[in-house]
């Protein structure tokens, strides 16, 4: 089995300018993901898909391969991640690089470790190579969530919320850190978020950088000694 990690990192970012190479405790954000992928026991190649030459340079400094520059039509805000992965696989295949398994690692999850990647891969093989997605315990139960329609609140789950918190089921949210699939099933119709097999991560490891507040949270966790 040959395994490739694909790290999608476009140059544009509205929330945090140049987010993927912004500084996080003395290291560019994408550097954390590249290092974790390269330290994995199982990953053969680490590929960064980017449309940005600065990201390409930084990625190569951290040891990733950047064999192509992503086309603009899949580097916009509207572009889907699955399209980026399909494009990367097709480009690699055109170069004669064939893989059996693809791992999607988003650079906005810097606190995910090589050990966690490896355990997720082991879970993938333990479940006959069914798609794996990393999750963490949700902070808020859907029993307490509501939508507003015609000025009235409506429950997400059609059950009474008078149930005690300790009696509520445990719910999980996709954290965006690790996705694993067989290459042959990666098509435009695939939804990584709907992979059926969960790999449960610690909440502190699941920080997803989208805003400056997220970046501050990650900095705090690192400075408190989570990452050495």
CATH of the domain at 61: 3.90.550.10
Task: Determine contact, residues 101/129, Cβ cutoff 8 Å.
Answer: yes
Q: Is residue 158 part of a domain?
A: no
Share of the chain above pLDDT 90, in %: 76
Where residue 127 falls among pLDDT bands split at 50, 70, 90?
Answer: very high
Q: Is residue 147 part of a domain?
A: no
Kindly report whether the global pTM for this prediction surpasses the value 0.75.
Answer: yes
Q: Is residue 71 part of a domain?
A: yes
Q: Is 65 exposed, middle or buried (0-12, 13-18, 19+ CB in 10 A)?
A: middle
Mean pLDDT calculated for residue range 209-215: 93
Mean pLDDT calculated for residue range 121-135: 97
Mean pLDDT calculated for residue range 135-149: 89
Which alpha helices (H) appear in 41-194, and where do they start and end? 53-61, 81-94, 114-126
Q: How many domains does the chain have?
A: 1
User: Would you say residue 67 has pLDDT above 90?
Assistant: yes
Parent domain of 129: 3-137+173-223
Q: Is residue 95 part of a domain?
A: yes
- Among 31-40, 165-174, 178-187, the least confident range: 165-174
Q: Is residue 152 part of a domain?
A: no
Q: Is residue 8 part of a domain?
A: yes
Q: Is residue 156 part of a domain?
A: no
Q: Is residue 81 part of a domain?
A: yes
pLDDT score at 228 = 47
- Supply angle C-alpha 21, 97, 8, rounded to 5: 20
Kindly report the number of other CB atoms within 10 A of residue 110's CB atom.
27
Render pLDDT for 153-181 as a digit per residue (tens, 0 to 9).
Answer: 988 887 776 777 777 788 999 999 999 99
User: Would you say residue 152 has pLDDT above 70?
Assistant: yes
């Amino acid at each position: 089995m040959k395994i490739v990690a694909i790290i999608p990192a476009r140059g544009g970012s509205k929330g945090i300018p140049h987010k993927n190479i912004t500084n996080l405790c003395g290291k560019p954000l994408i550097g954390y993901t590249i290092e974790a992928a390269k330290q994995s026991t199982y990953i053969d190649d680490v590929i960064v898909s980017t449309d940005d030459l600065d990201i390409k340079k930084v990625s190569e400094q951290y040891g990733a391969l950047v064999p192509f520059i992503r086309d603009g039509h899949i580097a916009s805000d509207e572009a889907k991640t699955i399209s980026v992965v399909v494009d990367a696989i097709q480009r690699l295949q055109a170069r004669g690089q064939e893989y059996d398994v693809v791992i999607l690692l988003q650079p906005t999850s810097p606190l995910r470790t090589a050990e966690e990647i490896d355990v997720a891969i082991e879970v993938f093989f333990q479940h006959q190579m069914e798609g794996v997605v990393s999750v963490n315990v949700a902070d808020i139960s859907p029993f307490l969530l509501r939508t507003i329609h015609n000025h009235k609140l409506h429950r997400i789950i059609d059950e009474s919320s008078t149930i005690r918190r300790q009696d509520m089921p445990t719910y999980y949210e996709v954290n965006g850190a690790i996705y694993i699939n067989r290459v042959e099933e990666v098509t435009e119709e695939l939804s990584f978020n709907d992979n059926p097999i969960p790999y449960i991560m610690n909440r502190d490891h699941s920080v997803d950088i989208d805003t400056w507040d997220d970046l501050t949270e990650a900095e705090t966790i690192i400075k408190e000694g989570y990452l050495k």
